[in-house]
């Protein structure tokens, strides 16, 4: 039977109204020779989990990074894939993403189908996740790669409806994403609106630059705040 330990921890955090940091590590931007010192800095923040993945489909293989993390930390390592080729069987879990904000069939079903053979042969925990790309002031890498239009940052009802559909599909998480290095992060009002009306934990990422902003997202209702670019730029 496929394990489900991590999601039980996620559910417990949500039920207890806990708030946690999550760090996103892009294999294309990580230098394994200096990763030990970087990992020590990351662990000072006591992250709930480490996401491994990049926005580009043809990104560098995550296997070496996942293997390193599994040997050097007890923090759960979770694949955040742009493509089936980014799945590492050494990871603890995978966010099984469905990009419901877009209408590109590749990210609604095709990429998921491509992952079946690999995932079915492993015990990697699968966490079905609604992935919603939210409009920023400029097109992000995710938007360009997926060839999809993000949700309006001012239409809170539409964001809620997309999240609710994901839950009715059986998804266990909702990820509100402004995109890597976004100039405008997900609106706090949107996080508050969606979190107050749905019954699963929310992750928020993209363009979050400092600890004050992290606290604001916690207060708005996010269970998990994802930090990526700010960590890469050593600003967090």
Q: CA-to-CA distance for 193 and 97, rounded, in angstroms?
A: 22
Residue 123 has pLDDT above 90, yes or no: yes
Residue 193 has pLDDT above 60, yes or no: yes
Q: Tell me the pLDDT tens digit for each residue of 8-62.
A: 999 999 999 999 999 999 998 888 988 999 899 999 999 999 999 987 765 568 9
Query: Within 10 A of 108 (CB to CB), how many other CB atoms are there?
Result: 14
Q: Which of 14-18, 81-85, 185-189, 192-196 has the lowest mean pLDDT?
A: 81-85
| 106 DSSP 8-state letter | I
Q: Tell me the pLDDT tens digit for each residue of 219-235.
A: 999 999 999 876 766 66
Q: In the structure, what pLDDT confidence band is assigned to residue 1 with cuts at 50, 70 and 90? A: very low
Contact 147, 103 (CB under 8 A): no
Q: Which helix (H) or strand (E) holds 176?
A: strand 173-177
């Amino acid at each position: 039977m496929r394990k489900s330990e991590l999601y039980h921890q996620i559910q417990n955090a949500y039920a207890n109204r806990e708030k946690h940091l999550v760090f996103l590590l892009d294999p294309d931007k990580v230098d394994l020779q200096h990763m030990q010192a970087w990992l020590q800095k990351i662990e000072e923040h006591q992250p709930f989990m480490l996401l491994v993945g990049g926005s580009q489909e043809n990104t560098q293989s995550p296997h070496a990074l996942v293997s390193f993390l599994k040997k050097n930390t007890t923090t759960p390592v979770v694949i955040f894939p742009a493509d089936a080729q980014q799945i590492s069987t050494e990871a603890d879990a995978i966010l099984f993403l469905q990009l419901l904000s877009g209408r590109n069939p590749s990210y609604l079903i095709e990429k998921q189908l491509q992952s079946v053979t690999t995932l079915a042969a492993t015990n990697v925990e699968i966490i079905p996740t609604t992935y919603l790309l939210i409009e920023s002031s400029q097109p992000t890498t995710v938007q360009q790669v997926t060839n999809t239009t993000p949700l309006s940052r001012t239409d809170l009802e539409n964001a809620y409806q997309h999240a609710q559909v994901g839950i009715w599909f059986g998804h266990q998480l909702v990820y509100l994403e402004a995109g890597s290095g976004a100039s405008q992060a997900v609106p706090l009002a949107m996080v508050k609106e969606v979190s107050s009306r749905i019954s699963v934990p929310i992750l928020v990422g993209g363009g979050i630059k400092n600890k004050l902003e992290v606290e604001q997202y916690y207060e708005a209702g996010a269970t998990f705040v994802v930090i990526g670019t700010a960590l890469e730029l050593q600003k967090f």
